[in-house]
Structure 1
Amino acid sequence: MQPRIHRRPARDQGVRRADDEAGFGAELAAVVDRARRRAVRDGDRQIDTAHLLHSLLEADAEARAAIGDARKAVRLLGYLVQRSIGYGLRWQSGVEDSGALHVLADAEGWSPVAAAAMRSARERATRRGEDRVRGTDLLAALAADPGARAVEVLEHAGVEVPDLLARIDGATAERVGDCGTAR
């Protein structure tokens, strides 16, 4: 029996990781690694947007702050923990697909929606003129697809996704507007 999710071999510290080369700094590369471990531990076939959302919110204070309401952020994390201990078993063995398959050739082990969100996060950083993806780029990309499991989780926790996206875009515009370029 082959493993369901592609596991990365251990790397020397001097070797750059694929996530890092693709614009994910050490912090977000760690988020991706945690999402991968979470999916393997949960017995899921693929890393989905809910795995990424859970790992991102645990690791990135700016992404948690973008939720806009500390109580909703706590409720959201609570729901994600419930999912990781069995509440979300109804998702196991199913492929996360919002209907618009964005399959990438190198997306082995990723749901099509999660792979598209990763690409979208990179594109957001590029449009802003930055080399590195921010946690809020990934959060916005996860929330942008109404068919994503991350959106289902956000809505279940009472987060208004259009408001979340507006807050992220407003904060990004503010950072860019402060000095004419992104910080």
Structure 2
Amino acid sequence: MQSRIPRQPVGEQVAAPRVDDDAGLTAELAAVISGARRRAVRDGDRQIDSAHLLHSLLEHDTEVRDVFGDGPGIARLLGYLVQRSIGYGLRWQGSVEDSGAVAVVAESDGFSPLAAGAMEHACERAAARGGGPARGVDLLAAIVADPGARAVEVLHRAGIDTGALIAAVEDRLEPPRWSSH
């Protein structure tokens, strides 16, 4: 029996991003990347894009799901993301996600230029926060920061305010303020 999942040519296989050993990734974020890779292959896409990453973040990272909270917005968002492979988003197939707003990463390892830049930005955010590993909320903030990202288009269609989403992520990443008594 032949597999229904399209196979990518060896030169185009989706691989894990290259990140500095210092920055690293949390186990959750590594699972997100694996999930996004499977989703891209299943959708017949040549590269992981920001919408694949967003879908996988919601699927694998409880901290990211907590940022969105409960309600109709998250249900609509998941609906759009699921529909991607059966209609919505088919116009993206065969095209490369690159808004031009994020510097293009020279070696994207199977990621769209925008998604590769978001991965790099997530690691930079983690390093600026104190050198811990990049977390899903770092990647979410990096993805949402680019208005040309496919994930941002999906968020807007689902009625989610990206400005409020970024504020919620920043609040979550803010170090605790201790009183000086």
Number of positions where the alignment pairs a residue of Structure 1 with one of Structure 2 = 171
Match of 1:6 among 13, 18, 27: 13
Structure 1 segment 7-156 matched on structure 2, within 5 A: 7-8=14-15, 21=21, 22-100=23-101, 102-156=103-157
Alignment-derived partner of residue 164 in structure 1: 165
Structure 2: runs of 5 or more not aligned? 1-7
Identity of aligned pairs, percent? 57
Going from structure 1 to structure 2, the CA distance change for 1:177 and 1:67 (only over 3 Å counts) comes to: same
Alignment-derived partner of residue 14 in structure 1: none
Q: Distance in 2 between matches of 1:108 and 1:172?
A: 28
* 1:177 paired to 2:176: yes
Q: Distance in 2 between matches of 1:62 and 1:70?
A: 16
**Structure 1 residue 4: Cα displacement:** 6.4
Residue identity opposite 1:146 in structure 2: P
Structure 1 consecutive aligned stretches of length 4 or more whose deviation exceeds 6 Å: none
Q: Alignment RMSD, CA only? A: 2.4
Residue identity opposite 2:99 in structure 1: S
TM-score (norm 2): 0.84
**Structure 1 residue 7: Cα displacement:** 4.4
Q: Distance in 1 between matches of 2:107 and 2:43?
A: 22
Pick 1 or 2: higher relative contact order, CA cutoff 8 A, min separation 6.
2
Bigger fraction of residues in helix: 1
Structure 1: runs of 5 or more not aligned? 10-16
